[in-house]
Chain A
Amino acid sequence: MRGRFCTTKRTKAGSLPEPWTSRVSPRLCYNRPVEIRLTVEGVAAGYGARSVFADVSLEVCAGETLVVSGHNGSGKSTFLRLLAGLQRPDAGQIAYVLGGAAFDPRDAGHLIGWVAPDLMLYRDLTARENLRFFADVRRISRTEAEIEALLERLGLGGRADDLLAAYSSGMAQRLRYAYALLHRPLALLLDEPTVTLDERGAGVVDAVIAEQRRHGLVVIATNDPRELRYGDLVLNFGG
């Protein structure tokens, strides 16, 4: 197989204060099994007159993890919402490149798995009904056994038929992972990945990230210094 050549750019400082760092120098990504690539070019975002960040450019290849760090309110979650297509940038472009085709994040729902504290699923449905619903909406075929196995591995075995209204915050976080992984996304976006999770839950997240790196890319937004270890690249929004 011919080697794929992909250089991950350093993040650009633009008009933002230091520090903007990339822990890894420009690198080469060879022979990735699935060639998805995330490109961000000159992206800016803000709320009203307040600019949150500007002129962010980077590239993440399959097999890599980008960690976005920074203090509260620095724009980590906003950046992930832009990558998920849930919000439009004020300037710049974001694209997922797959098989030579570039997808705007708003049209890349089938490529993206998103986990965030503000991701809510249906409280009036059970975990199984939630996952069945999202599988049906995404038009993917998942057997009951597959849904069962997914819930089991995420630590929700035996609770599949409980209403979400009865779930603890940690269980709800685990179900967010089930929602995000259900369609086997090539890009996994994790905002505060271990928030509300216990140690075993954090172990599951470890495994999910490790597995995702084998067939796609991961972007993590966190202000937990321990989670910087996941990153091949670190985009620091300050703090």
Chain B
Amino acid sequence: MERPELPATLQATSTQSPTAVSSRDVLAAAWAIFKKDLRTELRTRYAINAMVLFAACTAVMVSIGTTFIGLRRTEEFLLIQSSLLWVALLFAAITGLSRGFVHEEEARTLAALRLAAPPVAVYLGKFLLNLALLALLSIVTSVLFIVFVRIEVGTPLAFIALVAAGGLCLSAGTTILAAIIAKASFKSAIFAVLAFPLLVPPLIIAIQGTAIALDTSGFAAALPALQFLVAYSVVTFVASLMLFRFVWEA
């Protein structure tokens, strides 16, 4: 049988360095993974549709339920509004944020990615996607709550900072959890069970902080909650980076 001649691209020897991957290469690989996932998401819109639909349904149902209550704008009322906002954000996030790893597992593309990418780059890439999705979700949900539930934001800067910091916590937590549950059966149920202990502490603080931000107490009153959320995000993020390789190669 005649053998076709191979092109030049196949004829050279490997030029890859066998040395350890530099942090610059890791960041570049993470960015490539983020771009790939974002492109795929924009084509399929699986996570975006699920999350936005969930947030919209929740906002509409909450608005219908609370219209007839007629509560005065007390501290408890603000706490209820804040709780409802974060419940919507949490469950919408759980609906969509596990998609990154679960889809790779279901489509059986994990092996190709494992051979090509450093583990840390995979975590960072998926984390960036979750962060972007959660930023979109936070904006959509906040606007929906302002329009339908008629929440009034007393300290806008504190509100934005708290929603962003809470979103950071959710992203860091859900990314590592999604990697853990990707190979499990009953993924959704396990995801919710594992997410509970990891996400409840920052959620409690986020709810209390957001209630303060809805009031007109000023930015300084919300600062302790903000500091806690940022610290929790950093700890979760760093721990996830250190542990991810074991999860990825399990």
Write the chain A residue with the least CB distance to B5.
Answer: A207
CB-CB contacts below 8 Å: A93-131 with B: 98-99, 101, 103, 106, 108-112, 114, 116, 118-125, 129
Could you give, for residues 87-131 of chain B, a 1 whenever the CB lies within 8 Å of some chain A CB and a 0 otherwise? 000000000000000000001110111111100010000000000
Residue on B nearest A133 in the bound complex, by CB: B36
Chain A CB within 8 A of B39 CB: yes
Q: Supply 16 further A-B pairs (C-beta < 8 A) apart from A124-B43, A146-B9, A216-B13.
A: A86-B111, A103-B18, A109-B116, A110-B18, A118-B111, A119-B111, A124-B40, A136-B32, A142-B9, A153-B4, A184-B9, A184-B15, A184-B16, A207-B3, A208-B6, A216-B14
Q: Is B7 on the interface with A (CB-CB < 8 A)?
A: yes
B60 at the interface (CB under 8 A from A): no
Could you tell me if A204 and B29 are in contact, using CB atoms closer than 8 angstroms? no
Asked whether any CB of chain B lies closer than 8 Å to the CB of A183, the reply is yes
Q: Is the CB of A152 within 8 A of B13?
A: no
Query: What are the 9 A-B residue pairs with the smallest beta carbon separation, nearest first?
Result: A136-B32, A110-B16, A120-B108, A149-B7, A215-B13, A207-B3, A139-B25, A137-B117, A146-B9
Task: Flag if B249 contacts A106 (CB, 8 Å).
Answer: yes
- With the chains together, A138 CA to B116 CA distance in Å? 6
A120 touches B109 (CB 8 A): yes
Measured CB to CB, the closest approach of chain A to B246, in angstroms, equals: 12
Which of the residues B12, B107, B109, B121 comes within 8 Å of A137, measured between beta carbons?
B121
Evaluate contact between A137 and B3: CB separation under 8 angstroms: no
Taking Cβ atoms with an 8 Å cutoff, the residues of A that contact B are 33-34, 84-86, 88, 98-99, 101, 103, 106, 108-112, 114, 116, 118-125, 129, 133-134, 136-140, 142, 146, 149-150, 152-153, 179, 181, 183-186, 202-204, 206-208, 210-211, 215-216
Across the interface, do A119 and B112 meet the contact criterion of CB distance under 8 Å? yes
How far apart sit A152 and B6, CA to CA, in the bound complex (Å)?
Answer: 10
Q: Closest CB of chain A to B21's CB: distance in Å?
A: 8
Residues of A within 8 A of B108 (CB): 118, 120
Interface centre among B10, B21, B35, B40 (most CB of A within 10 A): B10
Given contacts A120-B109, A184-B14, contact A137 B7 (CB under 8 A): no
- A181 to B7: give the CA distance in the assembly, Å: 11
| Chain B residues whose C-beta falls within 8 Å of the C-beta of A116 in the assembled complex | 111
Q: Is the CB of A184 within 8 A of B29?
A: no
**Any A CB within 8 A of the CB of B28:** yes
Chain A's nearest CB lies how many Å from the CB of B160?
33
Are B121 and A140 within 8 A (Cβ)? Answer: no
Q: How many residues of B contact A (CB 8 A)?
A: 42
Minimum CB–CB distance for A43 against chain B, Å = 17
CB-CB under 8 A from A121, the residues of chain B are: 109, 112
Tell me if A137 and B111 are in contact (CB < 8 A).
no
Report whether B29 and A137 are in contact in the complex, using a CB–CB cutoff of 8 Å: yes
Complex: how many Å from CA A106 to CA B43?
32
CB-nearest residue of chain B to A145: B9
Q: State the CA gap A86–B10 with chains docked (Å).
A: 24
A116 to B112 CA separation, bound complex (whole angstroms): 10
Please determine whether B43 and A84 come into contact, CB atoms closer than 8 angstroms. no
In the complex, the chain A residue whose C-beta lies closest to that of B117 is A137
Q: Given A123-B107, A125-B36, A149-B9: A183 and B2 within 8 A (CB)?
A: no
Checking B6, B16, B109 against A153 with a beta-carbon cut-off of 8 angstroms, the contacting residue is: B6
B33 at the interface (CB under 8 A from A): yes
A211-B16 in contact given A109-B116, A134-B112 (Cβ < 8 Å): no
Q: How far is the CA of A204 from the CA of B2 in the complex (A)?
A: 10
Nearest A residue (CB) for B113: A137
Q: List 13 A-B contacts (CB under 8 A).
A: A34-B13, A86-B115, A110-B17, A111-B18, A118-B108, A120-B111, A125-B36, A153-B4, A181-B10, A183-B14, A184-B12, A203-B1, A216-B14
Residues of chain B within 8 A of A119, CB atoms compared: 111-112
Instruction: Say yes or no: B7 contacts A153, CB within 8 Å.
Output: yes
Question: Complex: how many Å from CA A211 to CA B3?
Answer: 10
**Most-contacted residue by chain A among B4, B14, B15, B44 (CB, 10 A):** B14
A122 to B100, CA, bound (A): 13
In the complex, A158 Cα to B7 Cα: how many Å? 17
CB <8 Å contact, B10 and A208: yes
Report the minimal beta-carbon distance from B193 to chain A, rounded to whole angstroms. Answer: 25
A129 touches B39 (CB 8 A): yes
A34 nearest CB across to chain B (Å): 5
A215 to B10, CA, bound (A): 10
Rounded to whole angstroms, the CA-CA distance of A106 and B21 in the bound complex is 13
A113 to B, closest residue via Cβ? B115
